[in-house]
Amino acid sequence: MGRIQLKDVTKSFGDVQVIPPLNLTIEDGEFTVFVGPSGCGKSTLLRLIAGLEDITSGVIEINGEDATDVVPARRGLAMVFQSYALYPHMSVRKNIAFPLRMAKMGQDEIDKRVTAAAEVLNLTDYLDRRPGQLSGGQRQRVAIGRAIVREPAAFLFDEPLSNLDAALRVGMRMEISELHKKLDTTMIYVTHDQVEAMTMADKIVVLQAGNIEQVGSPLELYQRPRNTFVAGFIGSPKMNLISGAEAAKYDAATIGIRPEHIDLSETEGPWKGVVGVSEHLGSDTFFHIQCDFSDEPLTVRASGELTLEYGATVHLTPRAEYLHRFDAEGLRIE
Amino acid sequence: MATKASRSAARIMMAPAVVLLLGWMLIPLSLTVIFSFKKFLPLRGDRITDRGEGFGDFMWEYVRGFPTLDWVGFENFSRFVGSSSFWPSVWTTLVIVGGVLAITVVLGILLSLLLDQPMWGQGVVRILVIAPFFVMPTVSALVWKNMFMDPVNGLFAHLWRFFGAEPVAWLSEASMGSIVMIVSWQWLPFATLILLTAIQSLDSEQLEAAEMDGAGPLQRFGHIILPHLGRAITIVILIQTIFLLSIFAEIFVTTGGAFGTRTLTYLIFQRVLESQNVGLGSAGGVYAIILANIVAIFLMRIVGKNLDA
Ligand SMILES: Nc1ncnc2c1ncn2[C@@H]1O[C@H](COP(=O)(O)OP(=O)(O)OP(=O)(O)O)[C@@H](O)[C@H]1O
Ligand SMILES: [Mg+2]
């Protein structure tokens, strides 16, 4: 069981309000991802849930019970830190067993759980090493192992993969997703990498300056961003946002169109532009095309085979059914 | 210092300092060793050289092994150990060193934990805590002796009388305790300072992780903070031991070696300067060197494994 509810939660450091009143419900078993730009309050929010910071006002409920004043250890949550926070003087085995020893569990039960966790995480061969003798990915797994042996109501991850290289990150991403499927426990995962958010989440919470901009499934956010911030933040490469006269033609202050929803043609199309930099990824090619109606070049996705000369003139056709319209406040127009 | 070139460059650049330090150490050391095998009683007319008093003459005789003084073999050594004050002085030395180490390490840990807490006026408090370290040993011992421990006018005497108790003549009745206290007061800032920097280098996420893992304040101290401090404690113990084995001024200005406070260092001082027996004192010096090395080896064995972890 791990249902977490935040009701009008605020947090201030001195005079600075980092989290304005915030309401959020995380259902049992859900994989929730907090994303947002650096400094938007993701870590702070996670630490409030963990109990490592006191909330300034509001209520946090875990499984329907008020947990606002409950100490971190009693909330039944386990946290994986960005720096892993392993205990350097203890072996991997002792690290993983630490929460169980603190809970005064019997040695047999401890051994059983540590062995089981090590098997799940492929750590069996490393149990007697110190954290200093492990690679980044292995340390990450030890940190996760230390969290899972407690069988917590929910896991909290604060950018757990940001210290790993790209290849390892993809691997660990899968492992964490798989772990979630296997354990079926609530997980809250903080990241500023929107690829992680899109691939792992059941539910994404987009934050900006402590405010929730939108909550929804990855595809909901992708297909129906509630405002220009979410539209620009979710998706890679970014959605093209165009404002001014061209947007007015569609009765909107701003229009948005994703790179994959623009068709390229050498001869016809409503938008004319000049090809700038092209990024060849093999599978796809992204062209940056400067159109006369916008300052920023538009990004257009095309098949991997297509090559265009730098400086060539092309015509673009946005697919009308994928066009997003936003009003002067930046809110979506249906 | 990874490449071969940078390592040999480092060696070349360190060489002058190493040679200077070696000379600095070797000349007095070999003098002590030479004198310890000689009869050298200046008041009885023994002279280092017959030629003059200049440094050149001295160095010349040094090279020749001081032929004006008679060799006496191991007589100085056996007399120094045979004297009834030898073993008590070794014991006194160890008690003082051990007592001061225990007090400074324990109080140092507590004090550094306290100073690590955010509080008002932190900067000033930290400077105040470190202040005793800047007071010269002679001065601080005199202050303690006259202002605090004097049985008639001392602060403690007043305090005792205020509560209707008989004032204690600290330096004669509780001489060892008093000296341990004075020396601890001097060295506590050093221990606190090193331990405080060590505590500040502890990753706060580790403590938070332990907190989430269900460790209470005492368990966090025992399982996380104390192991983290292991290396700093080792350093404090090693450095303090080296300096504490040779404390002298504190004893000289307080008890003058009386009331069972004669350490090995003090005994050597008495042999050389009060009895004017340089040979006997030098033999004591050689024993002190051996003792210091035994202690150092023991400490390295016991706590040294913390250093390579
Ligand atoms: N202890 C603190 N005292 C004062 N301000 C703080 C404190 N901790 C965080 N802040 C401020 O709160 C805001 C949110 O910080 P937080 O660490 O939650 O950001 P974040 O979203 O996790 O960013 P990142 O992606 O860079 O980790 C920042 O503006 C930060 O300066
Ligand atoms: Mg953060």
CATH code, domain with A44: 3.40.50.300
* Inter-chain touch A102–B224, beta carbons under 8 Å: no
In 3D space, the residue among A183, A149, A41 whose CA is nearest the CA of residue B214 turns out to be: A149
The answer on B67 and B116 residing in a single domain is no
User: From the CA of A40, which ligand is nearest?
Assistant: 1
Q: Which of A186-195, A233-242, B292-301 has the lowest mean pLDDT?
A: B292-301
The answer on A266 and A133 residing in a single domain is no
Measured torsion, CA atoms of residues B88, B90, B91, B94, in degrees rounded to the nearest 10: 160
The answer on B226 and B118 residing in a single domain is yes
Phi, psi of A240 (to 5 degrees): -80, 125
Position B205: which residue type?
E
Which residues of chain B from 220 to 239 reach within 8 Å of chain A, CB to CB? 223-224, 227-228, 230
DSSP assignments along B190-221, one per residue:
HHHHHHHHHHHTS-HHHHHHHHHTT--HHHHI
The answer on B289 and B146 residing in a single domain is yes
pLDDT value of residue B305: 63
Nearest-atom number in ligand 1 for the CA of A13 is 4
The 8-class DSSP code of residue A320 comes to: G
The answer, yes or no, to whether any atom of ligand 1 lies below 6 A from the CB of A13, is yes
Residue of the CA atom closest to atom 7 of ligand 1: A13
User: Does residue B301 register a pLDDT over 80?
Assistant: no
Q: Which of A55-59, B1-5, B82-86, B141-145 has the lowest mean pLDDT?
A: B1-5
* C-alpha A266 – ligand 2 centre gap (Å): 46
User: Does residue B170 register a pLDDT over 90?
Assistant: no
Q: Which of A265-269, A313-317, B102-106 has the lowest mean pLDDT?
A: A265-269
CB B179 within 8 A of CB B257: no
The answer on A268 and A205 residing in a single domain is no
Domain holding B56, by residue range, is: 30-73
The answer, yes or no, to whether any atom of ligand 1 lies below 6 A from the CB of A215, is no
Domain holding A288, by residue range, is: 259-326
Task: Return the bridge partners of A288, or none.
Answer: A299
CB B254 within 8 A of CB B141: yes
The answer on B248 and B116 residing in a single domain is yes
State how far the Cα of A36 lies from the Cα of A193, in Å rounded to an integer: 8
Residue B181 pLDDT grade (very low, low, confident, very high; cuts 50, 70, 90): very high
* Inter-chain touch B215–A77, beta carbons under 8 Å: no
**How far B118 CA sits from the closest chain A CA (Å)?**
15
The answer on A268 and A222 residing in a single domain is no
Domain endpoint, select from B73, B107, B133:
B73
Give a yes or no: residue A254 inside a domain: no
Which residues of chain B from 189 to 208 reach within 8 Å of chain A, CB to CB? 203, 205-206, 208
Q: At what angle do helices B122-130 and B86-116 cross, to 10 degrees?
A: 170
pLDDT in tens, A183-232: 899 999 999 888 889 999 999 999 999 899 999 999 999 999 999 999 99
Residue of the CA atom closest to atom 18 of ligand 1: A41
Domain endpoint, select from A188, A207, A229:
A229
pLDDT value of residue B82: 86
Of A82, A89, A98, the CB nearest to B213: A98
Q: In 10 A of CB A308, how many CB atoms?
A: 18
User: From the CA of A34, which ligand is nearest?
Assistant: 1
Q: Does A306 touch chain B (CB under 8 A)?
A: no
The answer on A183 and A295 residing in a single domain is no
The answer on A36 and A133 residing in a single domain is yes
* C-alpha A39 – ligand 1 centre gap (Å): 5
Q: Strand, coil or helix: what is A327?
A: coil
pLDDT value of residue B169: 81
Find the residue in A nearest to B214 (Cα): A73
pLDDT value of residue B103: 96
User: Does residue B303 register a pLDDT over 70?
Assistant: no
The answer, yes or no, to whether any atom of ligand 1 lies below 6 A from the CB of A191, is no
The answer on A267 and A225 residing in a single domain is no
pLDDT value of residue B39: 86
Find the residue in A nearest to B309 (Cα): A89
* C-alpha A288 – ligand 1 centre gap (Å): 34
Q: What is the ipTM of this complex?
A: 0.83
Give a yes or no: residue A253 inside a domain: no
Residue of the CA atom closest to atom 2 of ligand 1: A13
Mutate to test the pocket of ligand 1, among A11, A19, A33, A43 (most ligand atoms within 8 A of CB): A43
Give a yes or no: residue B66 inside a domain: yes
The answer on B299 and B259 residing in a single domain is yes
Give a yes or no: residue A155 inside a domain: yes
Find the residue in B nearest to A74 (Cα): B214
User: Does residue B309 register a pLDDT over 70?
Assistant: no
The answer on A298 and A169 residing in a single domain is no
DSSP assignments along A160-224, one per residue:
TTTTS-HHHHHHHHHHHHHHHHHH--EEEEE-S-HHHHHHH-SEEEEEETTEEEEEE-HHHHHHS
Q: CB-side exposure of B214: number of CA atoms within 13 Å?
A: 19
The answer on B297 and B222 residing in a single domain is yes
User: Does residue B138 register a pLDDT over 80?
Assistant: yes
The answer on B85 and B69 residing in a single domain is no
Give a yes or no: residue A152 inside a domain: yes
Structural tokens at position A123 = 């750590």
DSSP assignments along B120-157, one per residue:
TTHHHHHHHHHGGGGS-HHHHHHHIIIIIS-TTTSHHH
The answer on B133 and B38 residing in a single domain is no
pLDDT value of residue B2: 67
pLDDT in tens, B50-74: 777 788 888 888 888 888 788 888 8
Of A51, A72, A85, the CB nearest to B205: A85
Residue of the CA atom closest to atom 28 of ligand 1: A39
pLDDT value of residue A227: 93
Nearest-atom number in ligand 1 for the CA of A210 is 14
Give a yes or no: residue A235 inside a domain: no
Q: Which of A152-166, A213-227, B292-306 has the lowest mean pLDDT?
A: B292-306
The answer, yes or no, to whether any atom of ligand 1 lies below 6 A from the CB of A43, is yes
The answer on A223 and A269 residing in a single domain is no
* Inter-chain touch A50–B212, beta carbons under 8 Å: yes
The answer on A208 and A156 residing in a single domain is yes
The answer on A195 and A271 residing in a single domain is no
* C-alpha B216 – ligand 1 centre gap (Å): 26
pLDDT in tens, A277-298: 999 998 999 999 998 888 889 9
The answer on B84 and B68 residing in a single domain is no
The answer on B51 and B89 residing in a single domain is no
The answer on B83 and B69 residing in a single domain is no
Q: Say how many domains are in chain B.
A: 2
The answer on B140 and B57 residing in a single domain is no
Q: A30 vs A162, which has greater pLDDT?
A: A30
Domain endpoint, select from B54, B73, B92:
B73
Give a yes or no: residue A136 inside a domain: yes
Mean pLDDT of A73-91: 91
Domain endpoint, select from A229, A251, A280:
A229
The answer on A313 and A206 residing in a single domain is no
pLDDT value of residue B54: 80
pLDDT in tens, B211-245: 999 888 999 999 999 999 988 898 898 889 888 98
Of A83, A87, A99, the CB nearest to B224: A87
Give a yes or no: residue A297 inside a domain: yes
pLDDT in tens, B75-96: 888 988 888 888 999 899 999 9
The 8-class DSSP code of residue B80 comes to: H
Q: Does A308 touch chain B (CB under 8 A)?
A: no
Mean pLDDT of A230-235: 91
Residue of the CA atom closest to atom 6 of ligand 1: A13
Which residues have a Cβ under 8 Å from the Cβ of A276 and sit 6 or more positions away?
A: A287, A288, A289, A290, A297, A310
Please provide the average confidence, as pLDDT, over all residues in chain B: 87
User: Does residue B291 register a pLDDT over 60?
Assistant: yes
CB B213 within 8 A of CB A102: yes
Q: Which residues of B touch A88 (CB under 8 A)?
A: 228
CB A316 within 8 A of CB A267: no
Mean pLDDT of A30-36: 94
State how far the Cα of A117 lies from the Cα of B241, in Å rounded to an integer: 46
CATH code, domain with B281: 1.10.3720.10
Q: Is the overall model pTM greater than 0.90, yes or no?
A: no
The answer on A303 and A218 residing in a single domain is no
User: Does residue A57 register a pLDDT over 90?
Assistant: yes
State how far the Cα of B81 lies from the Cα of A230, in Å rounded to an integer: 86
Q: Say how many domains are in chain A.
A: 2
Q: Which residues of B touch A82 (CB under 8 A)?
A: 205
pLDDT value of residue B173: 81
CATH code, domain with A298: 2.40.50.140
Give a yes or no: residue A276 inside a domain: yes
Please provide the average confidence, as pLDDT, over all residues in chain A: 91
